[in-house]
Structure 1
């Protein structure tokens, strides 16, 4: 097997205040391989977003290490891009200029930049909206612009922090399908955090279940079967029951309540 593109090795994260030290993550270890969609699944407050911030270089681990293609991650870079649920679009810039923003500073000619922007807006189905301003778009369209902007950088890894949580169910399902289609064409590597069991099963190649206090990986589950998946079939329901039971197990073990 090829070397992992991301390797998380015995990572712990502690935050200190005047009165005490809180351990948010403890002894997290797993690898991510090129072209995988890895989902970190857990309730709010278990440290999912903190883990993603560590992989993105926005925070540093208290102990352990995180490697990107064999090199330790010490700061944010365009090799590993974070995509958040608030889209972070500049309201005064058009769709195409919001995507082009990610390419500023790159060694590209004006024509090369335009070609790349057009390519990725076409990929997310928004080429006809290239001149529109963000407020003229639906929430789903704004998220597609954010995806196009992330893709335009051509990163090695895309990190997603509950990217579809603010959207209605039908838009969320549509974008999940779009994400799978794009990921398969581009062979992207994605790490996504969510507290939605169905979303995790639908998107993931592997799911890592996290418990809290402190955040730990309790279970790794490989999801078999071709994508896109059928949410109504027996295999999907099998994984759903398996994961739900695992949450009950971790809940009882820690004597905490999981509202899922």
Structure 2
């Protein structure tokens, strides 16, 4: 992992108008993310974590402060980063391989080059045998893997993930978390993951940024420096679960049922 920050966030503020008044959503956010690192932004619904992800991706503009991606200020979306949502966003009338090729159609590649790259990333996510299938013929987990392949095929430096596995059953979610670790190791993609699942944050991230419930700030940064893949039943894992849960209790915000604890 390179020590050079891929992302630099400095003095970031963001507010929205609400009934004629300004409502502060993010308040003086500051942190860096190294190349090849996975950072989880953890917090309850409404704490501003998705807004932070949208700002990093250039889908919204900051009120004050700066977000630098690979040395350039983020002012709009670019191919340097790709967002992955719960909703896979696959086109039902296109085959698996044509869905993956979708993001490559505005790049200066021949049809053979697009196909070759799409196949490369479908192979990476273990779906090279499903190229001619349509989304309706795939399970939810497979559809999410197609979406991941499509995102990676653009070869972005940064993958932004907003609750990507939240709609899946537990076992499929665990499987895809393992697959994401393997993919990240091979592709060396930097990942920023927004989640309200404590276990998911611990399992996937090198660092966890805990956001407070209502102040729009990074409450605490926790470095997870144990090996990957991590043992969900191990003492280290339980230590971090307790540490994070205690952080929410100390702040006076009790985790809602949507939290995995």
- After superposition, the C-alpha distances for 1:176-199 in whole angstroms (9 at most, x for unaligned) are 000000101111100000000000
Report if aligned partners of 2:53, 2:160 keep a CA contact under 8 Å in 1.
yes
- After superposition, the C-alpha distances for 1:71-106 in whole angstroms (9 at most, x for unaligned) are 100000110100001001111111100000010111
Report if aligned partners of 1:140, 1:171 keep a CA contact under 8 Å in 2.
yes
Choose the corresponding residue for 1:258, options 229, 232, 255. Answer: 255
**Deviation (angstroms), 1:258:** 2.6
Query: What secondary structure does 2:28 align onto?
Result: strand
Query: What secondary structure does 2:211 align onto?
Result: strand
Structure 2-normalised TM-score?
0.96
**Deviation (angstroms), 1:20:** 0.9
Which structure 1 residue ranges, 5 or more long, are not aligned?
A: none
> Which has the larger displacement, 108-117 or 177-186?
108-117
Distance 1:132 1:186 in 2: 25
Cross-structure match for 1:189: 190
Cross-structure match for 2:49: 48
Report if aligned partners of 1:23, 1:213 keep a CA contact under 8 Å in 2.
no
Query: What secondary structure does 1:238 align onto?
Result: helix
Distance 1:51 1:4 in 2: 17
Moved over 3 A (4+): none
Query: What secondary structure does 1:16 align onto?
Result: strand
| Paired residues for 1:195-234 under 5 Å | 195-234=196-235
**Deviation (angstroms), 1:19:** 2.1
**Deviation (angstroms), 1:10:** 0.9
Report if aligned partners of 2:12, 2:27 keep a CA contact under 8 Å in 1.
yes
| Paired residues for 1:106-121 under 5 Å | 106-121=107-122
Q: Is structure 2 residue 71 aligned with structure 1 residue 70?
A: yes
| Paired residues for 1:82-231 under 5 Å | 82-231=83-232
Which structure 2 residue ranges, 5 or more long, are not aligned?
A: none
Query: What secondary structure does 1:87 align onto?
Result: coil
Report if aligned partners of 2:41, 2:209 keep a CA contact under 8 Å in 1.
yes
Report if aligned partners of 2:178, 2:229 keep a CA contact under 8 Å in 1.
yes
- Pairwise CA RMSD: 1.0
**Cα distance change on mapping 1:134 and 1:217 into 2, 3 Å:** same
Cross-structure match for 2:17: 16
**Deviation (angstroms), 1:213:** 2.1
Distance 1:163 1:3 in 2: 27
Distance 1:68 1:39 in 2: 17
Distance 1:99 1:51 in 2: 27
Query: What secondary structure does 2:5 align onto?
Result: coil
Report if aligned partners of 1:55, 1:73 keep a CA contact under 8 Å in 2.
yes
Query: What secondary structure does 1:50 align onto?
Result: helix
**Deviation (angstroms), 1:18:** 4.5
